[in-house]
Amino acid sequence: MKIGDLVEFTYGRVGATMTAIGVFADFGTCGKHKVLFMEKTYWVPASCIKKITTVRKDDVNEEWIN
């Protein structure tokens, strides 16, 4: 994971948990990393962050058969 990657993260405690998509901002200490979401920063444990990856198809200009 590198700075600027799109990530899905979970933040909060039991009963008040937030799952959202944000931007990975910084590697932190004590196992927590900085994530940007809606103009705010959250320090999230590394185990609660998952990188979002996109895979492009090989045939971008694939013909459509109807």
Within a domain: residue 65? no
3-state helix, strand, coil in the chain (%, to 5): 5, 50, 45
Closest CA to 35 of 55, 19, 16, 15: 19
Within a domain: residue 57? no
pTM above 0.95, yes or no: no
Within a domain: residue 62? no
Q: What is the count of structural domains for the chain?
A: 1
Say which residue the tokens 């962050």 belong to: 49
Residue 13 belongs to domain spanning: 6-51
pLDDT band for 14, please (50, 70, 90 cuts).
Answer: confident
Q: Is the pLDDT of residue 16 over 90?
A: no
pLDDT for 34 equals 93
pLDDT, tens only, 27-61:
988 889 999 999 999 999 989 899 998 776 666 66
